[in-house]
């Protein structure tokens, strides 16, 4: 520090703070929010913390100062524990006729509240699905059964639409037989989940369709500006706790299943969260295997974020992953293909 100018001492002090924050964020997938309530906030901030530390690393590298080791150490620990949020070696490949394709999309009730200035969102999404032609379609924030029409290529469907308790509807369309399906109700929330057991080529696959606890800070709602920092922190911490409870429930429920499983949907949290870590378990993230770029599925106050996932049983080989740019909702659709691994 003696060789640093006064200005660089201030820069290094700020650098040290952001390096420590990134280091602490590395624990967010592994420690409960009930023990450390601040960790989920750091988990959400991981991409920003990485970029900031990269800038500090570059700053000290240009000046050939040993202080570069602080951000470098934080970045290395982050990469080892959290992985990367950008993929360079993936990319889409041609999908074989033998592959099974699944598409997941939070459709925000097909623009029921007219959040988008368009009268044709329902038809636009239907056309998009027809063009992609996936074998299985999972919608979150769907609408009631009577409106889900026109998907003639799908002989089987399950729509969570039973009773007043189902406030957020989930829909599954399949070209393969659905032999069993059920709603999974999360307590004290409008969010929920469902599963469908689908017979594919003499094998049964359980597909979970999730809509996890929302944080309630959707752009345009004014939640951030209308609450004091203390109140906002308390509200978000409570919702992070609900997410973790829901994630534990899904993890336990899926672990008791004899079938191969696929978990997809809107997790309302990113890949560095405890929520994602619990649900993922030993499954494989299709984006991690075959994705390309940042993989954003949602714009959080204009910040691209990946909060929608397709997680596949490790007995499957993931052959492709696609992120789409269609702006028919506040989310973007994702699709993956897979096949059974050869012995």
Q: Over the stretch 55-70, which tens digit does the pLDDT of each residue have? A: 999 999 999 999 999 9
User: What are the backbone dihedrals phi and psi of residue 142, each rounded to the nearest 5 degrees, phi first?
Assistant: -80, -170
Q: Which of residues 141 and 226 earns the better pLDDT score?
A: 141
User: What are the backbone dihedrals phi and psi of residue 83, each rounded to the nearest 5 degrees, phi first?
Assistant: 80, -165
Closest by CA position to 70, among listed 54, 51, 48: 54
CB distance 277 to 301 below 8 Å: no
Task: List 136's β-bridge partners, or say none.
Answer: 102, 174
* Rounded CA separation 142/145 (Å): 9
pLDDT at residue 166 tops 70: no
Q: Report pLDDT for 167.
A: 62
Closest by CA position to 38, among listed 228, 229, 210: 229
CA of residue 32 relative to chain centroid, distance: 19
Which SS3 state, helix, strand or coil, does residue 194 take? strand
Q: Report pLDDT for 169.
A: 84
Q: Which of residues 147 and 278 earns the better pLDDT score?
A: 278
Q: Report pLDDT for 218.
A: 62
Q: Which of residues 235 and 91 earns the better pLDDT score?
A: 235
Read off the pTM.
Answer: 0.92
Q: Return all residues near 311 (Cβ < 8 A) that are at least 6 apart.
A: 262, 263, 264, 279, 280, 283, 284, 285, 286
User: In whole numbers, what is the pLDDT of the chain averaged over residues?
Assistant: 89
3-state SS of the chain: helix, strand, coil percent to 5? 35, 25, 40
């Amino acid at each position: 520090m003696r060789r640093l100018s006064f200005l660089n001492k201030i820069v290094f002090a700020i650098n040290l703070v952001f390096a420590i924050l990134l280091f602490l964020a590395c624990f967010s997938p592994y420690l409960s929010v009930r023990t450390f309530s601040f960790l989920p906030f750091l988990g959400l901030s991981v991409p920003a913390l990485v970029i900031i530390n990269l800038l500090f690393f570059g700053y000290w590298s240009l000046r050939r100062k040993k202080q570069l080791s602080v951000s470098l150490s934080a970045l290395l620990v982050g990469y080892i524990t959290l992985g990367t949020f950008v993929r360079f070696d993936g990319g889409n490949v041609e999908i074989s006729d033998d592959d099974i394709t699944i598409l997941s999309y939070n459709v925000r009730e097909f623009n029921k509240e007219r959040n988008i200035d368009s009268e044709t969102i329902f038809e636009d999404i239907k056309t998009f699905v027809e063009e992609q032609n996936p074998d299985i379609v999972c919608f979150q924030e769907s609408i009631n059964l009577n409106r889900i029409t026109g998907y003639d290529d799908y002989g089987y469907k399950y729509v969570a639409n039973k009773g007043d308790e189902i406030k957020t509807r989930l829909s599954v369309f399949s070209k393969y037989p659905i032999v069993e399906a059920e709603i999974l109700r999360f307590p004290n929330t409008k969010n929920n989940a469902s599963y469908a057991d689908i017979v594919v080529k003499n094998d049964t696959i359980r597909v979970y369709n999730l809509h996890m606890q929302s944080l309630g800070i959707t752009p345009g709602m004014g939640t951030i500006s209308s609450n004091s920092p203390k109140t906002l922190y308390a509200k978000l911490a409570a919702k992070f706790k609900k997410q973790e409870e829901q994630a534990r429930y899904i993890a336990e429920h899926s672990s008791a299943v004899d079938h191969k499983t696929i978990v997809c949907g809107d997790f309302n949290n990113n890949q560095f969260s405890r929520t994602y870590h619990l649900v993922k378990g030993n499954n494989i993230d299709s984006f991690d295997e075959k994705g390309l770029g940042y993989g954003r599925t949602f714009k959080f106050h204009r910040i691209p974020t990946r909060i929608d996932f397709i997680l596949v049983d490790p007995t499957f080989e993931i052959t492709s992953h696609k992120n789409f740019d269609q702006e028919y909702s506040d989310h973007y659709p994702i699709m993956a293909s897979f096949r059974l691994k050869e012995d």
